Chains A and B, each alone.
Chain A
Amino acid sequence: MRGNQTDLVFTDRFEALASIAHRVSFRILGDRHLAEEIAQEALARAYSRWTKVVPTPAERTSAEVGDGIPGAAPVATAATAVAPDSASVSAASGASTASTTAPGLTHATTYLIVGVDARADDPAIGSRGDTIMLLRVDPSTDTVRLLSVPRDLWVTVPGSSRPGRINATAKPDNPEDLVSAPETSTRASRSTAADA
């Protein structure tokens, strides 16, 4: 029976999940009591929707077979490889209020993803945005859009009257410039200011 199975799996993993939920909540909120409350509510919700949270073994297998790339090992290496030397992800997140509902985004959010070309052994090069992408995730329309911006794109940087290459604006010590450059160029909206 499905219900019993769910109970078994849930009990089995409850301890681990409770610890993680509390840890994550605390990391985000910085408040131990609030974190405990949130963790409890999260687990209560997880329990009520448990069959949706954890795919059954059959679903999991088909997902892995489906993408045609065997083996789990390369995932971690590849993930780090995407960031050339160091990558800076500027999250233009609009979720400014502490939400206790679903962990996903509550509204459309645009992320600026920058691969920074900086070499420790050659500081003379300085640092420039080498790969620039805007990722927009819109839960209201279920769309995910990735827009690449060529590094040699000729744009007018805000606060300057003279145009320049967009990648020259990507300085790690001043990511705000790069955030505003594509915003001006493509009028991509950014719901809240990133913490400076």
Chain B
Amino acid sequence: MKLDGAQALALVRSRHTQYLVGTTWTEDPRSDFGRIERQQVFLEILAAKLLGQLGDPTSIDDFVSVAAKSLVVDSGRTSRALVSAAWSLRSIGIGRLTTDTVQATGQIVGGQSVLVPTDAQLADASAFLLASPPADAGQTDTTAAGTTAAGPPAAPTSHSP
């Protein structure tokens, strides 16, 4: 399946996506978490495709030039930061990408529907990002399980106490 720009935009922005289940269209009940998952899968595929194309310095420079037109980048190290990131991503390889989401529970606070995280959930997110072992080495924790499409997250490799 191939998406054009507008379809891709709709896919990654929609918070009310319906999936065809059997013969009926059913709304994804996960709202923002569902959207995040679609964004992650989309970016993963896009990155893999993109890095396959960035075969030499010419194409990386060209890509950064094009991408910079659609992005607002920090003042200062614009080109340098993007080119460095592209090089590193390419040499590390997209197979090493793992994704996760900050977990939180839906609550109504002051009439607003918000997601309230616990300290443990924030700590899990932090540990995931920094690729450090979980703070509590207990077995009860499942929130840090990555929703990656590229295999299990690399975090729990250190099973030794």
**Contact in complex: A143, B77 (CB < 8 Å):** no
Q: How far is the CA of A71 from the CA of B76 in the complex (A)?
A: 35
**Contact in complex: B77, A147 (CB < 8 Å):** no
The answer to the question of A122 belonging to the interface, with a C-beta cut-off of 8 Å to chain B, is: no
**Contact in complex: A95, B83 (CB < 8 Å):** no
Q: How far is the CA of A93 from the CA of B80 in the complex (A)?
A: 9
The answer to the question of A76 belonging to the interface, with a C-beta cut-off of 8 Å to chain B, is: yes
**Contact in complex: B5, A16 (CB < 8 Å):** no
The answer to the question of A44 belonging to the interface, with a C-beta cut-off of 8 Å to chain B, is: no
The answer to the question of A33 belonging to the interface, with a C-beta cut-off of 8 Å to chain B, is: no
Interface residues of A: mostly helix, strand, loop or mixed?
Answer: mixed
**Contact in complex: A144, B4 (CB < 8 Å):** no
**Contact in complex: A147, B129 (CB < 8 Å):** yes
Question: Given the complex, which residues of A lie within 8 Å of B99, measured CB to CB?
Answer: 145-148
**Contact in complex: A172, B72 (CB < 8 Å):** yes
A188 in contact with B83 given A20-B61, A152-B113 (CB within 8 Å): no
Contact with A along B99-130 (1 / 0, CB 8 A): 11110100101001111110000100110111
Give the contacts of B35-90 with A (CB-CB under 8 A): 36, 39-40, 42-43, 45-46, 48-50, 52-53, 55-58, 61, 63, 66-67, 69-85, 87-89
Question: Given the complex, which residues of B lie within 8 Å of A67, measured CB to CB?
Answer: 45, 48-49, 52
Q: Chain B: how many interface residues by the 8 Å CB criterion?
A: 79
Say which residue of A16, A60, A131, A145 sits within 8 Å of B129 (CB atoms).
A145
A75 in contact with B96 given A17-B58, A150-B101 (CB within 8 Å): no
**Contact in complex: B32, A150 (CB < 8 Å):** yes
**Contact in complex: A145, B101 (CB < 8 Å):** no
| Cross-chain pairs A/B with CB under 8 angstroms, 20 sampled | A24-B79, A66-B52, A74-B3, A81-B9, A81-B12, A88-B72, A103-B83, A110-B129, A111-B81, A144-B94, A144-B97, A146-B43, A148-B101, A150-B32, A150-B33, A152-B114, A154-B115, A165-B114, A185-B122, A188-B126
- Known A83-B70, A109-B84, A154-B115; 4 more pairs at CB < 8 Å: A76-B66, A77-B4, A147-B129, A154-B117
Interface residues of A (CB under 8 A from B): 13, 16-17, 20-21, 23-24, 27-28, 46, 53-55, 60, 63-64, 66-67, 69-72, 74-84, 86-91, 93, 95, 102-105, 109-111, 116, 130-131, 133-134, 136-139, 141-155, 163, 165, 172, 175, 185-189, 194-196
